[in-house]
Amino acid sequence: MEISLQKLEKSEFLEALSNQNKILDQKTDISEVQNALNQCQQDMSERFLEFQEEIKGIILQNMNENVEILDKKANLCDVQLLLKEKADLNTIQALVSTKVSAQEVEDLRIKSEKAYKECENKLNSKHFEQIIKLLQGQIEQMQKDLLQKGNIKDFCAILDTKTSINDVNNALQQIHKELEKKAFQDDVNTCFMNQNLLNSQYSAENMLIKLAWKSGELKIGQFVPWENEISNYFVENFSLEREKTTINVLNGGFYQIYLAFFAKKKPTIQILINGEPIMSAVNTSSYVLHHSSGKLKDIKHTNGNVTGLTLIDFLNLPNKCKISVTFSGENSLENLGFITLKKI
């Protein structure tokens, strides 16, 4: 046997070796295979545990449902107790034997109808007798009433006492004469209108307030307290504050003011509207200046302060204003004053 040996060239050997290395490189490493197997085993273990827990949950749920179903079922003892309370066949047959038959019920019904008809006939006869008695009683009562009525002679006597037609006519004529003396409706209406006009004029003349100061004492700031309310015919419009130094005027418009103060030594008076002075009555040694319109000479009297510092003027007041007066002069308990506000 001849063996022919061929010698490989170096280049072919290197190429074959390179191919073998490439094939080996493409093969998986044993460590990677081991890791893959470990990972697969771990995943299978986790999945098995999850599957085990899921099966446990299903089994537990089924057990709970079975327990609920069993709870709804009756207990054996309860069933036996209920069955003992039920009637048995012998008891039922004994009770049925004691009941009446259908024929007996029919006989009782016929007897009941017969008795009902007899009672109804008896009641009808009794009712008829009651009606007869009632009518007899009414007839007797009517006869009694007729006996109590008067006869024709009595009626004639009564008619003779009544007023005749002539008497009625005379009375009507007398009434007409009296009515002619009375005032007509137009005259009455005219009188009412005139009276209402007078009342409105009187009310307008009396829309005023009169206040007096008699104590001689002053409040802080030399304000005059009006302690005495002489009259207030317009309480809806005029009012005094608690300290009585301020007069509240609700409605604005034209007003006439009267002011007078009596003191041994003539003072200086100032009128304020809402805290702001609007006019002053100023005293000199022997004369009183009245709103720069003239001079009045003051003469002493033996009876004391007969004359005083006076002021009469007109104001155009705003709505909801406050009027106050200050007194500057000799303090004395004999000092007096008054103020009048009149709406025009």
The pLDDT tens digits for 152-162 are 666 566 666 66
* Across 120-134, average pLDDT: 72
CA distance 321 to 274: 6
pLDDT at 249: 97
pLDDT at 199: 56
pLDDT at 238: 96
The pLDDT tens digits for 43-92 are 888 887 887 888 888 888 888 888 888 777 767 777 677 777 766 677 76
The pLDDT tens digits for 175-204 are 877 777 665 666 766 776 777 666 555 555
Q: Which of 84-88, 138-142, 161-165 has the highest mean pLDDT?
A: 138-142
Q: Has residue 123 got a pLDDT over 50? A: yes
Residues composing the chain: 344
Determine the 3-state secondary structure of 297 from DSSP.
strand
Q: Has residue 96 got a pLDDT over 70? A: no
Q: What DSSP letter does each residue of 227-273 carry, written as one string?
A: -EEEEES-TTTEEE-TTSS-EEE-S-EEEEEEEEEE-SS--EEEEEE
* Across 4-22, average pLDDT: 71
Q: What percent of the chain has pLDDT over 70?
A: 69
- pLDDT averaged over the chain? 78
Bigger pLDDT: 82 or 342? Answer: 342
Q: If we measure between CA atoms, which residue out of 206, 229, 202 comes closest to residue 342? A: 206
Q: Has residue 8 got a pLDDT over 60? A: no
* Across 126-138, average pLDDT: 77
The pLDDT tens digits for 289-318 are 444 444 455 556 666 666 788 899 999 999
Decide if 336 contacts 214 (C-beta within 8 A): yes
pLDDT at 291: 44
pLDDT at 211: 96
* pLDDT grade for 35, boundaries at 50, 70 and 90: confident
CA distance 87 to 90: 8
DSSP alpha helix (H) spans, the chain: 10-26, 30-72, 76-85, 89-98, 102-148, 152-160, 165-181, 185-205
Bigger pLDDT: 144 or 164? Answer: 144
* Across 227-255, average pLDDT: 93
Q: Which of 12-21, 76-85, 106-115, 334-343 has the lowest mean pLDDT?
A: 76-85
pLDDT at 295: 47
User: What pairs with residue 279 in β-bridges?
Assistant: 271
CA distance 280 to 259: 11
CA distance 230 to 253: 23
Q: Has residue 324 got a pLDDT over 90? A: yes
